[in-house]
Structure 1
Amino acid sequence: MTALTEARPARAATGMTPRQKLVLTLLLGAQFMLAIDFSILNVAMPAVGAGLGFGLGSLQWIATAFALPAAGLTLLFGRVADLVGRRRMLLLGMALLAAGSLLGGLAANPALLLAGRVLQGLATAIATPAALSLITTSFAEGPLRARALGLSGALMSAGFTVGAVLGGVLTDLLSWRWAFLVNVPVALLVLAVTSAVITESRDGGRARLDVPGAVTVTGGLLALVLGITTWAWALPVAAVLLVLFVLAERRAAAPLVPLGVLTKRTVAWGNAGGFIAFATETSLVFLMTLYLQRVLGYSPLATGLALAVLGAGTVSGGIAAPRIMGRLGGRATLAAGLTLQAVATAALAGLGGTHASLPLLLVATAVGGFGNLVAIVAFMGTATSGLPDGEQGLATGLATMTQQVAITLGIPVMSAVATAGSVGVLTGVHTATLVNAAVALLGAGLALAFLKRR
């Protein structure tokens, strides 16, 4: 009887309480919407340009206006959430998302649309690390946190694909404006429910914000994104500012990013693996979009539906990943996921110029998406492990920054590889796909070499 009595709490500890389920559902919904918001305009971008008079050379600013604040400010707001309250920052992010989406959906000229995109990117920088740190502080490190992060990773990755599908559907059937306006009622619903369901969470200490660190790292990341996407001369500026950031952190009494955190293998190499996972898979979606539209002649709607199979693979990977991680540990799971992704991606080099290649694309992207999400869940679990609750906003801010910078970097790099040497579209896609697979395989090797066994 004593043994049975002692076993009950152990079993209960592996399950979520009803309140935890409600909180997790709300936070996952917010993250899913933010992920959709990132990709929903990718397929609709030509229609947006035609509707508002964007020139061909200025279309990239629709993506860059979002990426700049999303990547450059995430680390800062992840730390601010630790200090002033994670729920408060989530609410602020949702309010800005509703405002930015409404502004973009009603925009009558390019300037107003870009202002809406900036607000959406700012909302992502504020809300994403807040939601993720609320998850990690709501669930203790172990099986429950791994399960929550698995669902989070699955929905975030699926959101990128759903965004592409939804963008194609709304653009073809209604108008590109609905790619913005669809966010407004959902954001308002999240605002209303969050206030009633989630309690405030913050660092209990009296630490102040490290202003020199915040200024230098934010400026450095903004310059990095600008250098990657638009102006190469910004890259040296980014390097100088990031060096100044490191120097500032060494002298700060309460640093924005304690350098000791970055020396932890789980944080450093977990984020390295996550960077490769996000950069390769999101850029692969771009390559497959290029292939489907430019080689096979698919419409935006048909392209989005074809990529939905990849989304199904990612959801399956996110559901399976916590069990895999429980058996193998973060190191082996991250390496295995990236290896499976690399093999599936390499198979796409066999795509031809006819519709007969479609089954290969569907199977390979589904398998690769499964492997990618397994790797992403392992990245999230590894990069946030071994840290106290007071540093979870920092850890999730780092993880979210890794994600945003990887997405921002991956697409232009693979685009440059695909178009190098003025080769045909199909040949360029083949070359970039093989490079993509090699980078994913390199990530698996780095995880095995530098992360400790569990």
Structure 2
Amino acid sequence: MTMDTAAHETTEDAVAATSNPVANPAADPTAGSLSVRARLVLFLLCAAQFAVALDFSILNIALPTLGRDLHMTQANLQWGMTAFALPSGGFLLLFGRIADRVGRRRIFIVGLSLFTAASVLATLAWSPTVFLAARALQGVGAAAIVPSGMALLTTTFKEGPQRDRALGVMGSLMSLGFTFGMVLGGVLTQTLSWRSTMALNVVMGLLVLVGAPLLLTESRNEVRPRVDVPGAITVTGGLLALIYGLSTAAQAGFGDTSVVAALVAAVVLLTAFVVIEARTAEPLVSLRILRRPTVAFGNLGGLATFSMMSSVVFLGTLYLQQVNGMSPVMTGLVFGVLGVSCAISGTIAPRIVARIGSARTLVAGLVLQAALTAVLLTIGQGSVGAWVFTVAGSLAAVGHLSAIVAYSVTATAGLPDEEQGLATGLVTTTQQVALTVGIPLLSALASARTDSLRTAGHSLARATLGGVRLGLGADAVLVAAFALLVGFGLRRRA
């Protein structure tokens, strides 16, 4: 499957870092190579982002067991995911601006502390209310970690081979965290309990908290921006309404009154946000940056690859378990193969970007992802279908990771230092929103098809297969359409 929205990224620390190799851990006389300290900083920041991505997906397979243990109804199980997604996506921009004012290192550590404490509460949860409250607090912590961590990375590693390499590692680990969460979710739930999935976050959070004060240097804007209160209220409310509406639609359908009301509210609030940002002197998001084709179309490509690949993972879980009857552990192992593919391609993608450029790599990655997703339409019941899903899904993951690295580079390249914070803020917002909106959209489509086939008399397995195929088909078409749009937009810019 990431929000720093500053209009100015130049900081006293960053200025000092350019002349002080101790303050700038990425300083290295060899272009693209990283010092030992820089590697430790990169590992630390990636570990935090990995934990957030892992937390987003690790409960997918564990939800049925969790529901039985805490006596949650089937209809309420989706709130195990939604309670995390709402604040993690809704508060990204706001926390990005706060980090600009008070310091990115400070917000990173505060967010990580909240995330870790909330994970303890989720591990010990004794009722649905306590568990969902803990998940919401985890989401708030994630909303602080993601933008501040991404901004710390881009201010630590200068534009060029170093940043490309760092973004490649982070993009790879974020996607790997999402898929690896599926693996661990199945293994830990079946061998220990669902509580162990939450306890893992505690361990990871504590490890990062030990290293953060020692390795990270403070970074903030030299001139602290005012908080755009009307903009913060409208964009946060709009994102919350959008995520709530789409998440609820996966269960209740798009005709549900609460879903319609939430989506209408999202449109109204986000429209008001655009109007406010166009008129305010110090906007939360400067709209002028979106006039840059690299920023606009780069983030559009990121939205496509993240939202649609996460949907492949979700639909694949339904296929492997409900159609082929595979256990949680075996399902997790299949996604582990996809995760390994992500890890390998994440190390290769920066070299491809360096050779053919980020724009071409982005389009090529989207085309490959769309083509291999289309191959998944051939899956059926039985072991052959499972092998097809494993192989084609792994190759689609190669295109996916290439697109992730390329869009991160495209959307942040060629910008002056004072716009880097805003650019990285948009990048991480794109990631988090995409991980939230893709699954509900295609899940609702697949569920409708499954229900239709069940009404027509098909077995549950055959009906589910029909729904999964329709969702995958729509997925492939959407990625291909985005690839054309992004390619056209970036070509016009060139």
Please tell me the TM-score bracket, short chain as reference.
over 0.9
Establish whether residue 163 from structure 1 lines up as the match of residue 181 from structure 2: yes
Matched, 1:134 2:152: yes
Amino acid at match of 1:76: L
**Which amino acid in structure 2 is aligned with residue 281 of structure 1?**
M
Residue 251 of structure 1 corresponds to 279
SS at match of 1:117: helix
Q: Which one of the candidate residues 255, 267, 292 is aligned to 2:295? A: 267
Distance 2:347 2:418 in 1: 28
| Shift in Å, 1:163 | 0.7
SS at match of 1:427: helix
What amino acid sits opposite 1:420 in the alignment?
A
Instruction: State the 1:391 CA deviation.
Output: 3.6
Of 458, 465, 474, 1:426 maps to: 465
Q: CA-to-partner distance for each residue in 1:112-148, whole Å, 9 max, x for gaps?
A: 0001100111111110111111111111111111110
1:145 and 2:173 aligned: no
Q: Which residue of 1 aligns with 2:221?
A: 203
Tell me the distance in 2 between the aligned counterparts of 1:163 and 1:378: 24
Partner residue in 2 for 1:451 = 490
Name the residue aligned to 1:95: 113
Per the TM alignment, residue 227 of structure 1 is displaced from its structure 2 partner at its CA by 1.5
Q: In the alignment, which residue of structure 1 is the partner of 2:24?
A: none
Q: Alpha-carbon deviation of 1:406?
A: 1.3
The 3-state SS of whatever aligns with 1:380 is helix
Specify the code of the residue in structure 2 equivalent to 1:309.
V
> Which among 432, 436, 439 is matched to residue 475 of structure 2?
436
**Structure 1 residue corresponding to 2:399, chosen from 334, 353, 371:** 371
Distance in 1 between residues matched to 2:213 and 2:182, nearest whole Å: 30
Question: Are 2:33 and 1:15 aligned?
Answer: yes
Which residue matches 2:458?
A: none
Q: 1:302 aligns with which of 312, 330, 335?
A: 330
Runs of 4+ in structure 1 over 4 Å off: none
Q: TM-score, normalised by structure 2?
A: 0.88
The residue that corresponds to 2:100 in the other structure is 82
Match of residue 385, structure 1, among 388, 413, 418: 413
What is the SS of the residue equivalent to 1:253?
coil
Bigger mean CA offset, 355-364 vs 317-326? 355-364
Are 1:348 and 2:366 counterparts?
Answer: no
Q: Distance in 2 between matches of 1:355 and 1:281?
A: 22
- Once the two structures are superposed, residues 361-385 of structure 1 have per-residue CA deviations (whole angstroms, 9 ceiling, x without a partner) of 1110110001100001111111222
Candidates 386, 402, 416, aligned match of 2:430: 402
The 8 Å contact of residues 76 and 397 in structure 1, kept in 2 or not, is answered as: no
Q: How far, CA to CA, are the matches of 1:390 and 1:357 in structure 2? A: 51
CA distance in 2, matches of 1:268, 1:386: 13
Match status 1:59 vs 2:77: yes
- Return the offset for 1:334: 0.6
Residue 267 (structure 2) aligns with: 239
CA distance in 2, matches of 1:207, 1:410: 33
Match of residue 5 from structure 2: none
The total of aligned residue pairs comes to 446
Give the partner amino acid of 1:402. Answer: T
Give secondary structure in 1 for the equivalent of 2:357: helix
Worse-superposed segment, 172-181 or 415-424: 415-424
Q: Which amino acid in structure 2 is aligned with residue 300 of structure 1?
A: P
Instruction: Let me know the Cα RMSD of the aligned residues.
Output: 1.5
Mapped to 1, the partners of 2:104 and 2:97 lie a distance apart of 9
Deviation at 1:10, TM superposition (A): 9.7
1:222 equivalenced with 2:209 (yes/no):
no
Write out aligned runs for 1:314-329 (5 A).
Answer: 314-329=342-357
User: Aligned partners of 1:80, 1:264: CA distance in 2, in Å?
Assistant: 25
Alignment match, 2:66? 48
Residue by residue over 1:337-372, the C-alpha shift from the partner in whole angstroms, topping out at 9 and shown as x without a partner, is 011111111111111111122221111011000110
Identity of aligned residues (%): 51
Question: Partner of 1:47: helix, strand, or coil?
Answer: helix
Aligned-partner residue type, residue 274 of structure 1: G
Query: Structure 1: which amino acid aligns with 2:475?
Result: N
Q: Distance in 2 between matches of 1:379 and 1:387?
A: 14
* Distance in 1 separating the partners of 2:337 and 2:480: 23
Q: 1:377 to 1:129 in 2, by over 3 A?
A: same
Aligned to 1:121: 139
CA contact (8 A) 1:129 1:396 kept: yes
Measured in 1, the distance between the counterparts of 2:435 and 2:218 equals: 31
Letter in 2 for 1:23: V
State the alpha-carbon separation in 2 of the partners of residues 398 and 76 from structure 1. 12
Q: Does the CA-based 8 Å contact 1:79-1:393 persist in structure 2? A: no
Distance 2:380 2:178 in 1: 26
> How far, CA to CA, are the matches of 1:115 and 1:342 in structure 2?
37
Q: Distance in 1 between matches of 2:398 and 2:440?
A: 24
Mapped partners of 1:257, 1:161: distance in 2: 31
Give the one of 273, 276, 284 matched to 2:304.
Answer: 276
Task: Say if 1:180 and 1:10 are closer, same or farther in 2 by CA, change over 3 A.
Answer: closer
Higher mean C-alpha displacement, 352-361 vs 143-152? 352-361
* 1:78–1:396 contact (8 Å) kept in structure 2: no
Deviations 1:419-442 (A, max 9, x none): 224221112211211111111111
Q: In the alignment, which residue of structure 2 is the partner of 1:5?
A: none
Instruction: Give the aligned residue type for 2:378.
Output: G
Deviation of 1:255 (Å): 0.7
1:282 and 1:432 mapped to 2: Cα distance?
12
CA distance in 2, matches of 1:10, 1:68: 40
Q: Which runs of structure 2 are paired with 1:103-118 in the superposition (5 Å)?
A: 103-118=121-136
Does structure 1 conserve the Cα–Cα contact (< 8 Å) formed by 2:100 and 2:224?
Answer: no
Q: How far has the Cα of 1:11 moved from its partner?
A: 6.4
**1:14 shift after superposition:** 2.6
- Distance in 1, Cα, partners of 2:423 & 2:118: 27
Task: After TM superposition, give the deviation of residue 83 of structure 1 in Å.
Answer: 2.1
What is the CA–CA distance in structure 2 between the aligned matches of 1:391 and 1:351, rounded to whole Å? 46
1:6 aligns with none
Provide structure 2 residue ranges, at least 5 long, that are not aligned to the other structure. 1-26, 249-257, 454-462
Native 8 Å contact 1:79 1:397 kept in 2: no
